[in-house]
């Protein structure tokens, strides 16, 4: 029973990116949604990367991917229409 609760809890939070500060992927996505656009922004609002630093490459990649998706044409539901 306890293991099930732990697994459900982990699933709801997402993957841990920074173990030292317990920062999950979901927390980083929320920070980006709240306006974080740089690693410095993420560091200030979550504390990630301020201890051992091993999470920085993964956090940076997640930040870049999220910002890229946000600025892609698909994110704005733009549809190319051919006129003939």
Q: What is the CATH number of the domain that holds 20?
A: 1.10.10.1100
53 within domain boundaries? yes
Residue 23: strand pairing partners: 18
pLDDT above 90 covers a percentage of the chain that reads 63
Q: What is the pLDDT along the chain (84 residues), one digit of tens a residue?
A: 555 555 555 555 689 999 999 999 999 999 999 999 999 999 999 999 999 999 999 999 999 999 998 877 654 444 444 444
3 within domain boundaries? no
Question: Other C-beta atoms within 10 Å of 49: how many?
Answer: 23
List, for residues 13-27, the tens digit of each pLDDT value: 689 999 999 999 999
The answer to whether the pTM exceeds 0.75 is: no
Q: What is the pLDDT of residue 7?
A: 52
DSSP class per residue in 4-71: HHHHHHHHHH--EEETTTTEEHHHHHHHHHTT--SHHHHHHHH-TTSSS-TTHHHHHHHHHHHHHHHH
Structural domain of 31? 8-70
81 within domain boundaries? no
82 within domain boundaries? no
How many structural domains compose the chain? Answer: 1
């Amino acid at each position: 029973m306890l293991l099930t609760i732990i697994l459900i809890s982990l699933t709801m939070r997402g993957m841990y990116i920074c173990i030292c500060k317990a920062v999950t992927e979901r927390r980083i996505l929320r920070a980006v949604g709240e306006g974080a656009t740089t690693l410095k922004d993420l560091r200030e609002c979550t504390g990630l990367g301020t201890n051992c630093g091993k999470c920085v490459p993964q956090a940076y990649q997640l930040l870049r991917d999220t910002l890229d998706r946000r600025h892609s044409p698909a994110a704005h539901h733009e549809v190319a229409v051919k006129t003939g």
